[in-house]
Structure 1
Amino acid sequence: MPDLPSSPSTSPAAPLPAGFRLTRSAPTRREYVRLRQVAGLSPRTAAQAAGALANSWAWAAVRTAEGDLAAMGRVIGDGTWYFHLADVATEPAQQRQGLGRAVMEDLLARIDAAAPPHPYITLLADPPGQRLYRSLGFVDSAPSVGMRLPR
């Protein structure tokens, strides 16, 4: 992981609701596994979580005043021209408050600050997040098509 701040950022582009704060640190393994599950993402094991937590280029997390994880997202990639956003998730009870937008805006700002001109920024957009991603400027990758190798 690069030398990026792990302390709370000064402020996301969009203000967070009162009582929430954005941090640039990874969630715990338990928090990561739990938020993926409750947000409807595919389940992951503790071992898979450990790899994600240790090997990401950047993290952004939104926490409640009590310190509970409310939203998260991360970037994987080479830190120079290729960046892939992953694990963008918000606690269902906290959705529609701008928490996911704050996570995305923080991660994109950090990519913009680190990358040379014209970085390649990708994500796989599940239907619930597509409106947010489009509002941030993401477009369909046509004529390229996202592909995966099932195992």
Structure 2
Amino acid sequence: MKAISLWQPWASAMALGWKRNETRHRRTSYRGPLLIHAAKKVVGWPSMDIQELFWEDDIAFQPSDLPLGAIVCKVDLVGCEEIFIHTRPKGIERILGDYTPGRFMWITENPISFGPIPFRGSQGFFNVPESAININIAPENPKLLNEKKTRQLKLWN
């Protein structure tokens, strides 16, 4: 399955369903299942608004409290659109990406959060073997992203 790495806190924001678009400098023609990998690099809280999201829901005090070097969720990549001033999203989604005109938003749906699965990431798309992922998935409660409690879920068609 294809995967991409995101820095924290962006990866967890996608796993929690807060972030639906990934913004990139290039478009993609790929559509289908996509694993989201939390890179080992932490960028810190990019804004007080994002910091408050994680604090209010008691998920993380610092970005380093979030999973690093692990696959954290699966999404469906359903579209890719160039960003223009009039097409930028509003609300929370807008602060969770770089919506500079000329960039591209990769539109995702159906996030499924995992208990973090340690895996070495890479830049750009990379492949993850089925054997690494067809394991336990995190419970419905996003506060349990770092806990060992899991339930089975089949990810492969």
TM-score, normalising length: structure 1: 0.30
Q: Whose helix proportion is higher, 1 or 2? A: 1
TM-score, normalising length: structure 2: 0.29
Q: Whose strand proportion is higher, 1 or 2? A: 2
